[in-house]
């Protein structure tokens, strides 16, 4: 199938495609089997300077927009889902720092020196024991004392936390702040510890290495991202998460259907003149794959258009009910479509797809895409959309 999203885009996506093919894909089965960090892919991205793709050009980065970042994450996920997810999560944190931290001396230096210069990897800690999956509330609070601050957080899930160079953490603004009055705080290596790190023995996305841990950090008050996390969440974290995740889930489904297409082509070569039994099913699945791609790319392009306007105009659009519904609908649709399309690939391939040791195996793809609907629970998102739809007038 000639539907690689990078085929028509720039150098950033082409370099990532090469890493996906030559480095991420050959290690993907081992990363999955051993639930280990995909060090080879991340080292290759770092060596190619691709970890700073989301840093604005004003700070020396590639200044890639959402569409290009989505294509990059999709390209990498075609080789290794966990690598694609790690890259997406890193870009989400970088985007939060670039869009809400830039302009202060601390974050300007972090973007330029640590992210571009040293190609550091940033992890995210939004989850917390006691908030029950709701990222917009926190139990923990940052304690500021003059120029210094400290924070302790009991996190349920931290992807690649032990492999990252920095952690971006949500918390309450102060000990007496309400649970929803949150800020983002950045901690760099040496400023924090992760204790009581749990196990990450999961059905899928095993290479993201995402166990819970008790986080403790301290640093300078300048490391608190200016403004409210509520704004950073609506303007940046939610759109980047839902669009980049959808893109990489698309990439996983596309790779599974690539395997089905190779299988069908093999059948056609074996019996010339006879349309293989699985070909019509593959054709229907491919149409759905294209619809999924148009869905996430349409949202990415819309975001890029909005992001080209002044921040005040972005605020109006990205905090509207219509945009929130659109982001949530994208997330729900793509997280549910991806495992369905891998299921279709399996039906087309049959036993060679079911086995874990053939070039047509799709078991890993299947298990990895099952995480999609849980990663911010679709039920939780549907409940939010249900209440927004009660008051939403589509004009």
Ligand X SMILES: Cc1cc2nc3c(=O)[nH]c(=O)nc-3n(C[C@H](O)[C@H](O)[C@H](O)COP(=O)(O)OP(=O)(O)OC[C@H]3O[C@@H](n4cnc5c(N)ncnc54)[C@H](O)[C@@H]3O)c2cc1C
Give the residues lining the site for ligand X (CB under 6 A). 89, 123-127, 132-133, 155, 157-159, 205, 208, 210, 371, 374-377, 379-380, 383
Decide whether 119 or 208 has the Cβ nearer to ligand X. 208
Q: Measured from the CB of residue 269, what is the shortest distance to ligand X in angstroms?
A: 38
Tokens representing 270 are 């074996």
Decide whether 159 or 182 has the Cβ nearer to ligand X. 159
C-alpha 179/C-alpha 135 separation (Å) is 10
Q: Measured from the CB of residue 386, what is the shortest distance to ligand X in angstroms?
A: 9
How many CB atoms are closer than 10 A to CB 267? Answer: 17
Decide whether 302 or 374 has the Cβ nearer to ligand X. 374
User: Tokens 């936390």 belong to which residue?
Assistant: 161
Where b means 16+ CB within 10 Å and e means fewer, 47-79 reads ebbbbbbbbbeebbbbebbbbbbbbbbbbbbbb
Report the helix count and the strand count for the chain, using DSSP H and E. 14, 7
Decide whether 133 or 230 has the Cβ nearer to ligand X. 133
Q: Measured from the CB of residue 90, what is the shortest distance to ligand X in angstroms?
A: 10
DSSP-derived 3-state class of residue 4 = coil
Q: Measured from the CB of residue 246, what is the shortest distance to ligand X in angstroms?
A: 14
Give CA angle at 51 (116, 184), nearest 5°: 80
Decide whether 65 or 133 has the Cβ nearer to ligand X. 133
C-alpha 159/C-alpha 14 separation (Å) is 26
Q: Measured from the CB of residue 384, what is the shortest distance to ligand X in angstroms?
A: 7
């Amino acid at each position: 199938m000639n539907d690689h999203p990078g085929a028509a885009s720039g150098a950033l996506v082409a370099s990532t495609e090469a890493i996906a093919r030559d480095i991420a894909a050959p290690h993907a089965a081992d990363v999955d089997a051993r639930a280990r960090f995909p060090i080879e892919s991340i080292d290759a991205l770092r060596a190619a300077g691709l970890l700073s793709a989301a840093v604005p050009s004003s700070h020396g980065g590639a200044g890639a927009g959402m569409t290009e970042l989505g294509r990059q994450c999709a390209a990498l996920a075609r080789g290794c889902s966990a690598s694609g997810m790690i890259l997406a999560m890193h870009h989400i944190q970088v985007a939060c720092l670039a869009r809400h931290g830039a302009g202060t001396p601390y974050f300007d230096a972090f973007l330029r020196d640590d992210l571009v210069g040293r190609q550091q990897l940033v992890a995210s800690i939004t989850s917390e024991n006691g908030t029950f999956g709701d990222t917009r509330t926190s139990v923990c609070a940052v304690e500021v004392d003059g120029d210094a601050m400290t924070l302790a957080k009991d996190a349920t899930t931290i992807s690649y936390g032990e492999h990252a160079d920095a952690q971006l953490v949500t918390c309450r603004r102060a000990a007496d702040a309400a649970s929803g009055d949150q800020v983002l705080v950045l901690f760099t290596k040496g400023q924090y510890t992760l204790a009581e790190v749990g196990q990450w023995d999961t059905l899928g996305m095993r290479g993201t290495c995402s166990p819970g841990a008790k986080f403790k950090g301290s640093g300078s008050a300048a490391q608190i991202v200016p403004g409210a996390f509520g704004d950073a969440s609506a303007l940046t974290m939610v759109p980047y998460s839902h669009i980049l995740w959808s893109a990489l889930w698309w990439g996983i489904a596309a790779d599974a259907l690539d395997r089905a297409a190779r299988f069908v082509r093999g059948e056609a070569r074996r019996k010339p003149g006879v349309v293989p039994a699985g070909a019509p099913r593959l054709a229907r699945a491919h149409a759905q794959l294209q619809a999924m791609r148009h869905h996430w790319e349409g949202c990415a392009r819309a975001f890029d258009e909005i992001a080209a306007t002044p921040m005040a105009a972005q605020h109006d659009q990205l905090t509207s009910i219509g945009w929130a519904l659109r982001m949530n609908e994208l997330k729900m649709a793509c997280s549910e479509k991806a495992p369905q399309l891998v299921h279709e690939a399996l039906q087309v391939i049959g036993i060679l797809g079911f086995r874990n040791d053939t070039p047509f195996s799709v078991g890993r793809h299947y298990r990895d895409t099952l995480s999609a609907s849980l990663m911010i629970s679709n039920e939780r998102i549907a409940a939010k959309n249900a209440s927004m739809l009660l008051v939403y007038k589509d004009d």
